[in-house]
């Protein structure tokens, strides 16, 4: 197709967030799917997504192994340590660019044709496209793109190559590890030939775009994309900028929620560990007391043994002095020896118990020290999460402020534009209805025509001209609110006029919809929202 362009977008990062990986693999719960469906995502086409793996083999998307797990397994199998690990373990921000995310795609019409061929695709939000089949042409394109990326960066450094066919424009998410031939991370060596300048990176990317177009794009009718350096920066329209700010605000709000969840989890961990530490402290106190008691027992038993040995010496002196008979001496000596043996057995038993008590005390003290260290680590992580939450909240408020600047409350100009459009549409609507009315009258008898003239009002009931005539200000305000994206305001105005309901999830301008068509759709939705549950007929 003449003028069709390739797309290569490169985004280096210092890691790969779980949420980003889940988005690539569509590891989403129902709530996340509903949220994503607002941004050009069609759940009914999710089954068409696929991956290209080692050897250029096409497989279904493996949702059981996260991209972070794939990266770690890749590094472990090659004996490579992530240089950011030591910083992350310390609760610090990573320093090195260890992941490069590429998005590969091209002209929307070409990519859709490769993916779906002549099949009819319903691009409306909420449409059911579950009967679509994936075309072999898109797999061929993906395998060629995969081969190109392997040639440039090494197949062993491709951590994931996921093809999305469930969004507005088919594309690839390719995760590359910037590793040198010596298995060392170096974004600079791979992408800027060792020169850490923006100019060097731009030069490399321009060369990459050219090579990709020559080796892959032209084969499928897409030429090299235009360089921003050559064409100048492409500025977003106010509407596009507003939507970008809205999306950024949603992401920051989600970041705040995730950090808040982390804080709650860490606080729960700290509470549990403090409880265990308190229990260990009691155990240590009890063990120390038992240790002291056993030591005292052993000391008393040893003293008792010495006393018995002194009694034997005294007994021998009394026998030698003739103070006691030999029979009496033998009897007492036998008793004393028996008592000494019994005492020695007790000393041995208490000594064994003392060793066990010492071991338990040592273990408890060691466990307590480990838990105190973990509790301290959790406190540091909590403090870090609190700091990140504050930053994200600040950024969120900043984005909201910018959003209000470019998308103020329903303003007079927008309402005026909607009023102008409304009256224009009303005229067209009236012309259509009168044409039908005249055609109907031509088929009737004179009496029937008279009767029809008396009941002509029913033709206009529920029409746009009726709605504009009866409630023009509020109808145009609802339409303008829908156009600007203030869905809550639109619902509130409609309900205040006796209407009900809202536009539903996913409301907004479609990618393939021009501004006038979107304004028309806003008017149509405004009419539905203004309509009460039981419409009152206008008497004429």
Q: What is the DSSP-derived secondary structure letter of residue 394? A: H
d(CA 481, CA 296): 85
Lowest mean pLDDT, pick from 61-75, 177-191, 208-222, 476-490 = 476-490
Strands (E), 221-324: none
Per-residue HEC secondary structure of 295-350 comes to HHHHHHHHHHHHHHHHHHHHHHHHHHCCCCCHHHHHHHHHHHHHHHHHHHHHHHHH
Lowest mean pLDDT, pick from 17-31, 300-314, 422-436, 520-534 = 422-436
**More confident call, 469 vs 447:** 447
**More confident call, 421 vs 356:** 356
Phi/psi of residue 19, each to 5°? -65, -35
For residue 426, name the pLDDT band (cuts at 50, 70, 90).
low
Place of tokens 């206008």: 538
Instruction: Return the CATH fold of 258-406.
Output: Helix Hairpins (1.10.287)
Residue range(s) of every CATH 1.10.287.1490 domain in the chain: 258-406
- Average pLDDT rounded to a whole number, residues 131-159: 95
d(CA 104, CA 225): 12
Q: What is the reported pLDDT for 49? A: 95
- Average pLDDT rounded to a whole number, residues 34-42: 60
d(CA 219, CA 178): 28
Q: pLDDT tens for residues 51-79?
A: 999 999 999 999 889 999 999 999 999 99
Is the pLDDT reported for residue 537 higher than 50? no
Lowest mean pLDDT, pick from 41-50, 468-477, 507-516 = 468-477
Q: What is the reported pLDDT for 534? A: 40
Is the pLDDT reported for residue 409 higher than 60? no
For residue 369, name the pLDDT band (cuts at 50, 70, 90).
confident
Instruction: Give which of 174, 165, 168 is closest to 26, Cα–Cα.
Output: 165
For residue 201, name the pLDDT band (cuts at 50, 70, 90).
confident
Tokens of 414: 């927008």
d(CA 202, CA 396): 31
d(CA 111, CA 109): 6
Q: What is the reported pLDDT for 232? A: 45
Is the pLDDT reported for residue 309 higher than 50? yes
Residue range(s) of every CATH 3.30.930.30 domain in the chain: 6-234
Is the pLDDT reported for residue 197 higher than 60? yes
Is the pLDDT reported for residue 131 higher than 90? yes
Q: What is the reported pLDDT for 139? A: 96
d(CA 478, CA 486): 9
Whether the predicted model's global pTM rises above the 0.85 cut? no
**More confident call, 466 vs 80:** 80
**More confident call, 457 vs 419:** 419
**More confident call, 460 vs 325:** 325
Residues 145 and 525: beta-carbon distance below 8 Å: no
For residue 149, name the pLDDT band (cuts at 50, 70, 90).
very high
**pLDDT > 90 in the chain, percent:** 22
The most confident of 230-239, 366-375, 465-474, by mean pLDDT: 366-375
- Average pLDDT rounded to a whole number, residues 5-12: 88
Residues 504 and 525: beta-carbon distance below 8 Å: no
Angle between helices 446-454 and 412-442 (to 10 degrees): 160
How many other β-carbons are positioned within 10 Å of the β-carbon of residue 469? 13
- Average pLDDT rounded to a whole number, residues 375-392: 79
- Average pLDDT rounded to a whole number, residues 17-41: 69
Q: 174: Cβ–Cβ under 8 A, 6 or more apart, which residues?
A: 101, 102, 103, 104, 145, 146, 149, 158, 160, 161, 162
d(CA 212, CA 335): 103
Q: What is the reported pLDDT for 235? A: 38
Q: What is the reported pLDDT for 165? A: 94
d(CA 153, CA 101): 12
Mean pLDDT for all residues in the chain: 80
Residues 268 and 379: beta-carbon distance below 8 Å: no
d(CA 321, CA 271): 75
Instruction: Return the CATH fold of 6-234.
Output: BirA Bifunctional Protein; domain 2 (3.30.930)
Lowest mean pLDDT, pick from 13-17, 216-220, 374-378, 405-409 = 405-409
Q: What is the reported pLDDT for 245? A: 67
Q: What is the reported pLDDT for 170? A: 93
d(CA 197, CA 200): 5
Find the distance separating the first CA and the last CA of the chain, reported in whole Å: 58
Q: pLDDT tens for residues 203-262?
A: 888 889 999 999 998 999 888 876 655 544 343 444 455 566 667 777 877 888 888 888
- Average pLDDT rounded to a whole number, residues 138-149: 95
């Amino acid at each position: 197709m003449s003028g069709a362009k390739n797309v290569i977008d490169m985004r280096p990062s210092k890691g790969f967030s779980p949420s980003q990986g889940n988005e690539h693999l569509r590891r989403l719960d129902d709530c996340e799917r509903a949220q994503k469906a607002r941004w050009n995502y069609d759940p009914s086409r999710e089954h068409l997504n696929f991956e290209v793996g080692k050897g250029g083999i096409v497989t279904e998307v493996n949702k059981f192994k996260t991209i972070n797990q794939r990266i770690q397994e890749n590094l472990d199998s090659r004996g490579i340590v992530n240089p950011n690990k030591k910083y992350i373990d310390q609760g610090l921000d990573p320093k090195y660019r260890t992941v490069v995310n590429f998005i590969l795609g091209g002209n929307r019409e070409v990519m859709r044709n490769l993916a779906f061929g002549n099949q009819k695709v319903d691009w409306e939000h909420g449409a059911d496209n579950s009967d679509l089949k994936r075309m072999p042409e898109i797999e061929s394109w993906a395998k060629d793109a995969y081969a190109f990326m392997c040639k440039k960066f090494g197949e062993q450094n491709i951590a994931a190559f996921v093809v999305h066919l469930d969004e507005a424009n088919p594309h690839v998410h390719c995760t590359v590890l910037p590793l040198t031939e010596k298995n060392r991370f170096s974004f600079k060596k791979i992408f800027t030939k060792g020169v850490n300048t923006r100019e060097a990176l731009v030069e490399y990317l321009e060369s990459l775009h050219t090579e990709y177009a020559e080796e892959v794009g032209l084969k499928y009718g897409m030429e090299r994309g235009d360089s921003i350096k050559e064409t100048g920066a492409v500025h977003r329209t106010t509407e596009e900028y507003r939507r970008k700010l809205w999306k950024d605000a949603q992401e920051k709000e989600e970041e705040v929620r995730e950090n808040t969840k982390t804080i709650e989890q860490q606080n729960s961990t700290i509470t549990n560990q403090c409880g265990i530490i308190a229990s260990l402290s009691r155990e240590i106190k009890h063990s120390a007391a038992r240790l002291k008691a056993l030591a005292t027992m052993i000391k008393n038993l040893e003293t008792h043994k010495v006393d018995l040995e002194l009694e034997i010496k005294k007994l021998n002196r009394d026998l030698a002095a003739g103070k006691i008979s030999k029979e009496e001496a033998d009897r007492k000596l036998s008793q004393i020896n028996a008592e000494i043996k019994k005492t020695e057995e007790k000393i041995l038993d208490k000594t064994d118990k003392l060793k066990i008590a010492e071991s338990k005390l040592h273990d408890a003290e060691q466990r307590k020290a480990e838990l105190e260290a973990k509790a301290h680590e959790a406190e540091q992580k909590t403090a870090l999460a609190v700091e990140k939450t504050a930053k994200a909240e600040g950024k969120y408020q900043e984005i909201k402020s910018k959003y209000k600047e470019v998308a103020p409350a329903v303003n007079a100009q927008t309402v005026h534009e909607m009023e102008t459009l409304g009256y224009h549409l009303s005229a067209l609507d009236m012309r259509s209805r009168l044409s039908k009315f005249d055609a109907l009258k031509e088929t009737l008898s004179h009496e029937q025509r008279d009767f029809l003239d008396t009941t002509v009002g029913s033709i206009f009931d529920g029409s746009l001209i009726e709605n504009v005539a009866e409630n023009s200000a509020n109808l145009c305000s609802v339409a303008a609110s829908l156009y600007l994206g203030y869905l809550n305001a639109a619902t509130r105005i409609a309900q205040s006029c006796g209407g009900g309901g809202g536009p539903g999830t996913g409301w907004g301008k479609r990618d393939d919809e021009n501004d006038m068509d979107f304004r028309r759709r806003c008017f149509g939705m405004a009419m539905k929202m203004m309509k009460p549950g039981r419409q009152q007929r206008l008497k004429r």
